[in-house]
A and B are shown apart, each in its own frame.
Chain A
Amino acid sequence: MMKLLAHSSAATLALALAACGTAETSEPAPSASDAPATEVEENVGFGAVADVETATYSLERTHAFLYIEVGHGGGISNYRVDFLDFDADLAFDAAAPAESQLSVTINPALVQTNYPGDYKAGHADSPYETWDEDISRNERWLNSDAFPEISFTSTDIVRTGEDTGEVKGDLTFLGTTQNITLDVSFGGVANPPWFAGRDVIGFNATTTLLRSDFGMSALIPGITDDVTVSFSGEFLQDEA
Chain B
Amino acid sequence: MRKLAIGLSALALVLPATGQSLEGVAADIYELEKTHAFLTWSVRHNGISDYIVNFTDFDATLDFDPAAPENAALEVTINPTALETKYPFAEKKVEWENELAFDEKFFNANVFPSITFASTDVTVTGDFTGTVTGDVTFLGVTQPVTLDVEYGGVANPPWFGQRDVIGFTASGTLNRSAFGLDAVMGSTSDEVTITFSGEFLQAE
Contact yes or no, A73 B167, CB < 8 A = yes
Q: Which of B38, B86, B152 contacts A80 (CB 8 A)?
A: B38
Complex CA distance for A122 and B36, rounded to whole angstroms: 15
B12/A43 in contact, CB under 8 A: no
- Neighbouring B residues of A202 by C-beta, 8 Å: 45-49
Asked whether A189 and B166 contact (CB < 8 A) given A32-B187, A65-B86, the answer is no
Query: With the chains together, A138 CA to B189 CA distance in Å?
Result: 39
Select one of B50, B51, B197 contacting A77, CB under 8 A.
Answer: B197
| CB <8 Å contact, A222 and B15 | yes
Chain A residues near B54 (CB-CB < 8 A): 82, 114
Q: Indicate if the CB atoms of B12 and A76 lie closer than 8 Å.
A: no
Q: Determine which of A61, A77, A219 lies in contact with B8 in the assembled complex, contact meaning CB atoms within 8 Å.
A: A219
Contact check, A75 vs B19: say whether CB atoms are below 8 A apart: yes
Which of B9, B51, B92 has the most A CB atoms < 10 Å from its CB? B51
A64 and B11 alpha carbons, distance in the complex (Å) = 35
> Nearest chain-B residue to A86 (Cβ)?
B88
- Is the CB–CB distance between A35 and B186 below 8 Å? yes
Within 8 A of B (CB), among A3-38: 30-38
Closest beta carbon of chain B to A188's beta carbon, Å: 4
Indicate if the CB atoms of B86 and A82 lie closer than 8 Å. yes
State the Cβ distance, B96 to closest chain A Cβ, in Å: 4
B69 neighbours in A (Cβ, 8 Å) = none
**Any B CB within 8 A of the CB of A44:** yes
**Interface presence of A79 (CB below 8 A):** yes
Q: Which residues of A contact B50 (CB under 8 A)?
A: 65, 204, 232
Contact A75 B153 (CB under 8 A): yes
Q: Once the chains are docked, how many angstroms separate the CA of A84 from the CA of B90?
A: 11
Categorize the interface residue count of chain A: 35 or more
Contact flag A221-B12 (CB < 8 Å), given A76-B153, A78-B197, A82-B86: yes
Q: Given A63-B51, A72-B36, A234 and B86 touching (CB < 8 A)?
A: no
Please report the total number of B residues contacting A with Cβ < 8 Å.
60
- A150 contacts the other chain (CB 8 A): no
Q: Residues of A contacting B12 with CB < 8 Å?
A: 219-222
Residues of A within 8 A of B84 (CB): 112, 114
CB of B102 within 8 A of chain A? no
Known: A62-B88, A72-B36. A42 touches B57 (CB 8 A): no
CB distance from B177 to the nearest CB of A (A): 9
B2 touches A42 (CB 8 A): no
Q: Measured between alpha carbons, how far is A80 from B187 in the docked complex, in Å?
A: 27
The answer on a CB contact under 8 Å between B38 and A78 is: yes
Cβ distance B183 to chain A, nearest Cβ, rounded Å: 8
B186 touches A77 (CB 8 A): no
Is A45 a contact partner of B47 (Cβ separation < 8 A)? yes
* A161 touches B (CB below 8 Å): no
Contacts of A134 in B (CB 8 A): 1
Q: Which residues of A contact B134 (CB under 8 A)?
A: none
- Residue pair A187, B35 in contact (C-beta under 8 Å): no
Are the C-beta atoms of B8 and A222 separated by less than 8 Å?
yes
Contacts of A115 in B (CB 8 A): 35
When distances are taken between beta carbons in the complex, the residues of chain B under 8 Å from A221 are 12, 16
- B109 contacts chain A at the CB level, 8 A cutoff: no
| 5 additional contacts (CB under 8 A) given A32-B45, A33-B184, A34-B187 | A30-B87, A30-B93, A45-B44, A74-B16, A221-B12
Q: Can you list 28 A-B pairs, Cβ within 8 angstroms, ordered by A?
A: A30-B95, A33-B51, A33-B184, A35-B187, A42-B185, A43-B44, A44-B186, A45-B44, A73-B36, A73-B157, A75-B152, A77-B168, A79-B36, A79-B197, A82-B54, A82-B86, A114-B84, A116-B34, A116-B56, A125-B2, A188-B48, A190-B46, A192-B187, A200-B48, A202-B48, A219-B11, A232-B42, A232-B50
Binding site for A on B (CB under 8 A): 1-2, 8-9, 11-12, 15-16, 18-19, 34-38, 42, 44-52, 54, 56-57, 84, 86-88, 92-93, 95-96, 99-100, 152-155, 157, 165-169, 183-191, 197-199
Nearest first, the 7 A-B pairs at minimum CB distance are A45-B47, A202-B48, A76-B167, A74-B18, A77-B167, A35-B187, A202-B49
